[in-house]
Structures are given as C-alpha cells and as structure tokens.
Structure 1
Amino acid sequence: MTDPEFRSGFICLVGRPNTGKSTLTNALVGDKVAITSNRPQTTRHAIRGIVTRPDAQLVLVDTPGLHRPRTLLGKRLNDLVLDTLSEVDVICLCIPADEPIGPGDRWIIEQIKPLSRRTKVVGIVTKLDKVGPAKIAEQLMALADVLGPEADVIPVSAKSGKQLDVLADLLVSLCEPGPAFYPDGELTDEPEQVLMAEFIREAALEGVRDELPHSLAVTIEEVIDREGSDPPMVDVHAVLYVERDSQKGIIIGHRGARLKEVGTAARAQIEKLLGCRVYLDLHVKVAKDWQRDPKQLGRLGF
C-alpha cells in the first residue's frame, strides 16, 4: 500500500548545451551518473538519476542540450529531448547566471511553452558561484519575465551545493502523491556498458580542441571477466570513433601519450563503477562523417 504522503515524479532538466544540467543532476543524486565537460553537447542521451528520500523519489532526466541542429545527429538529439519533455511531470529550464538570456534560450522556451499547459515548469539559474548577488537577482527577474507568472524560479549552485536542498524540496512539492519507481539505494537505471562508454568519452574530451566533441563516439565491444584472477579483474575492450584522420591523431597524441592518459582517467571511473580491477583496451577508428550517416548513427547507438 502506497504512503499517501509519499510523492514521486519524473523531472526533466533542459537548456542550451553547457548550462550545467549534468553537474546539477550529479549534485542532486549525490554521485556521478552523468558525465560533465565544459564542451557543448557532452550529453548524448537521456540519463536518469534517482533521488530517494523518506518522503519522495525524484527521477531526474538529464537531456542533451536543445539547439538548432546542423547534422542528423543534432536532429536526433533534439527529437530525443522533445520526446522526453512530453512524458515528464516537471520541466526544469537551466539558465547560467553568468550569461544573458539569448536567442538560444528563447528558442527553447518556445519549444516548452505548449507543454506548460499540462506540465509544471521551473526556471533554474545555475552557476551561482560565478557571479555576485546583484547579477543573480537580475537573472532571476529576467527568467521569471520570460517564463511567466505560473513558473517557479530558483537559483542554485551545483558546485558549492547552495540551494540544492531548497530546489529538491520545491521539486517534491510539485510532484503528485505516488509510489517509488526504483528500489531505495539505486542511483541510475543506466546500463553499465553505457556508463563505461560515457566515462571514456568524458576522459577523451578533456583538454581537446573545439571541433572534436561533436565528432567523438565510443562503443564498448566486449566486457570479459578474467578467469582465475584474484582479486577479480575485468577486461573491457572499447573503440573511440572520430570522423577524420586528423582527429584520430588528436585522440592518440604523440606516441600514444594522449590515449594513455584517457585510459588511465577512464579506468579509474570504471573500476569505481564495477567495484573491481579493470584492464581497459582502447582503439581509435575513423568513421567518416558518421554524424550525417543514418546507417553509422544506428550502429553507434543513435
């Protein structure tokens, strides 16, 4: 029998690329379920982070950044976001405190306005740690003005944790009474292989040129338990796909130094995920113009 006081709901975080959605998801969940990067369009699919409290369960859906698409991949990512928005209980629009509300933000607001008749909308001003109180107040008023009087508006800092508890309480209050969707203690419903591929892509995105993030995809080819290993060990074989030979050189680096750094960083995350030692085998391949090729997009999971 469901506790009549217990509330639950699906919350979608939406916004332009690089507005802090993934960092906020991780902060609310209290662990890493979404990869983060200062590169736009880091998130490639809808990731569910689960927040369970004694009085409620929030299922946070972190989505790719909505943008005017220039490739078939971009269009498919936008379609994914819009499909997700139609199925959630609350939509949270993330706007960074240190950037003015611009045409990209207004375009997203136009996309979510038709949904606001039946779905609650919350405006979140993110990255409070980057500006002073006057700028935060100015951004809150600007966001309230574009979203309208029905929407709640709140400032938060995922980095410092400021206002996270206030945001969580607000989201719980907007959910209807209902049961928990996931067992207590579960933080995400992402398959392990998806998370492993994401950790590798995150490591590869660190410190690279602007052109690369959009062109990089990662697949996990095999995950094999190593027989007779004590303590237990897992062999993970993965492929990093880029669109051009020049990008392959960027990933591999001089005498393989860059790829080795990627492997070291990703392996630490994967070992934490799996709870055992990991041998990570990485290869880099060129899949020419895969972002625009329907067959290659399908093969890479899009």
Structure 2
Amino acid sequence: MRGTAVLLAVLLVAGCSGAPPDGTDGDLTDDWPLLTSAAPFRPVTGQCHESLAATAPLAEHRPVDCAELHVSETYHVGTPAPADVVPAAGSAGARAAFQECSQRAADFLGGSWRTARVAVQVVWPTKAGWSGGARWFRCDVTTADLDGQSRTSRTGSLAGELAGASPLRLGCFNPEVDGETVTTMRPVPCEQAHRAEFAGLWKAPEITYAALESGTARSAAGCRSVIAKFADLPDNSDMQYRTGWISYNPTRTEWLSGERRVRCFVYFASRTFKRSLKNAGPGVLPVN
C-alpha cells in the first residue's frame, strides 16, 4: 500500500510539471479574443417586404425574396443627422430623408418615380429602436395608384424598371368622373381610344396643404401651362378652350416631407384620341 501511494504521487507530480501538449503554450487565458460590443440593428438594401408602414419594429422585420409577392422594396438605407428622437413628420430631418430617398430612387428605377405609378416612402426605426441606438432610415419603393393611397402587391424587383418602356409609366388613360371628382384612372395604350394623357409635372408653391386641396384655380393655371408645353400650344388664356385638365396632388405625408410636384393630365369629357397628344399643336387641339 505504501509503495502504491508513493508511485501515484510521483506520477501526479510528473504530470503537473511536465511540458504542455504540442501546439499549446500552457496559458489558458491569453488566446481568447474580446467579444465585440452589440450593434443596433440596421436594415440592408435589396430586401422586399409584405407590408409598408412609416416605422419598422425589429420584431416585425421579416423580409421576403423579391421574386415572391411583396408590397415594397428597400433600395437605400441612409443615416440621418444626429437627433434625440425620431424625426417627426414635417421636420427638417424628415424632409432631408425624403429628399435623399427621392434622389436615390431615380438611380434605382432608371427614371423619375413621379412620372410612374410608383411611390417612395421613408421608413424609420421605432421610438424604442431609436432609444436603443438605431440611427437609420429606410428608403422603400412601391407601386401605387395616382393618389398614392393604394399599394399594389407585385413580384420581381423594380430595379431599372423605368429605364425603358414600362407599364408603370404614366401615359394614356380613360378616367371615370363623378361630378368634379375623378374616381378611376384606367391606363390604356395610347393607340386605343382614350380621353386623358399624362402631360407632366407642375411645381406647387410653398402654401399649406389645405390651401392646395381647397382651391382649383392655382392647379388649373399650373397644369394648363404644363399641357401647353407638352402639346406645343400657345400658353395663353385660350388654353381653357382647347383642353380640360386633371391634377393629382402629392399625399399629405409627401407634402409634409417637402414634395411639391403635382401630376398634370390633358383631359376631355367626351372627345377621344388614338394617339399621343405630345406636340399635337393647335391643328389637333383648336380653340372651341
């Protein structure tokens, strides 16, 4: 028994004092890298989403492949100016973000989103996300009707969509009108009989949104000038006797974000055309 105990003690001492295994230095603490600090979530471009809202809670961030049915697509992620809270609608920070998204949209789409059935929306982190250090805004693009209220689901990316011919480009339409309200603008090829056509954009002045919506005289004058240039007509008081007009204002959210472009359309209550009225001239559109 004494001999066994002595032998065991010798073996233990030899194990503790021997050289470390090959490939190690015997120090168990010096080779562990420090853990990186946790970073706030930041979205990425090229992702599509099944819904679109003004804020994006992290718990609801479930992007889908753009080949699947979706409502919006993220094409740019920006960094806002430093602020203690999420920029409110109409604030300088919110307007700067919308301007950046609007400019980036042209590069992404291959053309102006304002001349297509497309809408741009800024998506912000939630208040909780902002408090946790999130400092980003998402630029999303979506197909939409002319009043900007209805989002349309689609499959496929919108990247380069407006670089060439596209069914989303504003062209010729057959409107349905109830009194002085346009209820539907149904797009049709310009070679088919139609009563309206997109003529261009009019930049509204810096007035309140209520003032823009309440009166038509300002929009009528602005759009008649746009139509005159589009159809190669004299821009004078006779324009009101040559064509009618339809205008679509920015949404209230867009207006608060600084958007001032109004979409203008040539319109006839009963007369139809089977051609574009671009550069049509007084011979096609006489004073009546």
Shorter-chain TM-score category? under 0.3
TM-score by length of 2: 0.27
Q: Which structure would you say has the larger RCO, counting Cα contacts within 8 Å and 6 or more residues apart?
A: 1
Larger Rg: 2
TM-score, L = length of structure 1: 0.26
